[in-house]
Amino acid sequence: MTNFPIDKIRQDFPILQRKVNGKPLVYLDNAATSQTPKQVIDCIVEYYSLYNANIHRGVHTLSQEATDAYEAAREKIRVHFNAKHPEEIIFTSGTTEGINLVAHGFSKRLKKGDEVIVSALEHHSNIVPWQMMCEETGAKLKVLPMLPSGDLDMKAYADLVNANTKLVFVNHISNALGTINPIKEIIEKAKSVGAAVLIDGAQAAPHIKADVQALDVDFYVVSAHKMCGPTGVGVLYGKKTWLEKLDPYQGGGEMIDQVRFEQTTYAGLPHKFEAGTPNICGGIAFGAAIDYMNTIGFEAIAQYEHDLLVKATQALLEIDGLKIYGTAKEKTSVISFNIEGIHPYDIGTIVDKLGIAVRTGHHCAQPIMDYYEIPGTVRASFAFYNTFEEVEALVQAVKKAKEMLS
Ligand code: C6P
Q: How far is the CA of 94 from the centre of ligand 1 (A)?
A: 9
**Euclidean distance between CA atoms 54 and 62, whole angstroms:** 8
The per-residue pLDDT for range 303-314, each reduced to its tens digit, is 999 999 999 999
Describe the chain by its helix, strand, coil percentages, rounded to 5: 45, 20, 35
Beta strands at 356-357 and 359-361: parallel, antiparallel or unpaired: unpaired
pLDDT digits (tens, 9 = 90+) for 202-259: 999 999 999 999 999 999 999 999 999 999 999 999 999 999 999 999 999 999 999 9
Q: Residues 201, 222: contact at Cβ < 8 Å?
A: yes
Residue 151, pLDDT score: 98
- Sign of the CA dihedral with 237 first, then 239, 244, and 249 last: negative
Does residue 228 carry a catalytic annotation?
no
Give the mean pLDDT of 166-193: 98
pLDDT digits (tens, 9 = 90+) for 46-60: 999 999 999 998 899
Q: Which of 29, 33, 93, 123 best tests ligand 1's pocket when mutated (most atoms within 8 Å of CB)?
A: 123
The percent of residues in the chain predicted with pLDDT above 70, rounded, is: 100
Residue 307 pLDDT: 98
pLDDT in the model for residue 23: 98
pLDDT of residue 1: 65
Q: Which residue's CA lies nearest to atom 16 of ligand 1?
A: 175
Calpha distance 280→69 (Å, rounded): 9
**Is ligand 1 within 6 A of the CB of residue 123?**
yes
- Residues 141-148: contacts with CB under 8 Å, at least 24 apart: 141/116, 142/115, 142/116, 142/117, 142/118, 143/117, 143/118, 143/119, 144/117, 144/118, 144/119, 144/120, 144/168, 144/170, 145/120, 146/119, 146/120, 146/121, 146/368, 146/371
80 pLDDT exceeds 80?
yes
Q: Are strands 356-357 and 26-27 parallel, antiparallel or unpaired?
A: parallel
* Mean of all residue pLDDT scores within the chain: 97
172 in ligand 1 pocket by Cβ < 6 Å?
A: no
Q: Tell me, what's the pLDDT at 57?
A: 83
Nearest to 376 by CA among 384, 367, 385: 367
DSSP bridge pairs for 339:
322
Which pTM does this prediction carry?
0.98
Q: Is there an atom of ligand 1 within 6 Å of 31 CB?
A: yes
Determine which residue's CA is closest to atom 5 belonging to ligand 1. Answer: 96
Percent of the chain's residues with pLDDT above 90: 99
pLDDT reading at 2 higher than 80: no
CB 122 within 8 A of CB 140: no
Return the number of other C-beta atoms located less than 10 Å from residue 37's C-beta: 26
Give per-residue pLDDT as tens, 88-143. 999 999 999 999 999 999 999 999 999 999 999 999 999 999 999 999 999 999 99
pLDDT, tens only, 368-397:
999 999 999 999 999 999 999 999 999 999
Distance 125 CA to ligand 1 centre (A): 7
- CA-171 nearest atom, ligand 1: 14
Q: How far is the CA of 122 from the centre of ligand 1 (A)?
A: 10
- Structure confidence by residue, pLDDT tens digits, 258-282: 999 999 999 999 999 999 999 999 9
Give nearest CA residue, ligand 1 atom 2: 32
The Cα 181–Cα 298 span in angstroms is 18
Helix or strand holding residue 359 (H, E): strand 359-361
393 lines ligand 1 (CB under 6 A): no
Burial class (CB in 10 A: 0-12, 13-18, 19+), 242: middle
Mutate to test the pocket of ligand 1, among 28, 34, 96, 101 (most ligand atoms within 8 A of CB): 96
Q: Which of 27, 203, 359 to mutate to test the pocket of ligand 1 (most atoms within 8 A of CB)?
A: 203
Task: Check if CATH label 1.10.3720.10 holds for domain 41-294.
Answer: no
User: Given this chain, do its domains 6-30+298-405 and 41-294 carry the same CATH topology?
Assistant: no
For residue 32, the CA-to-ligand 1 centroid distance in Å is 7
pLDDT confidence of residue 58: 81
Domain boundaries, the chain: 6-30+298-405, 41-294
332 CB under 6 A from ligand 1?
A: no
391 CB less than 6 Å from ligand 1?
Answer: no
Ligand 1 mean position to 123 CA, how many Å?
A: 7
Classify domain 6-30+298-405 by CATH number: 3.90.1150.10
Determine the Cα–Cα distance for residues 67 and 73; give it in Å rounded to an integer.
10
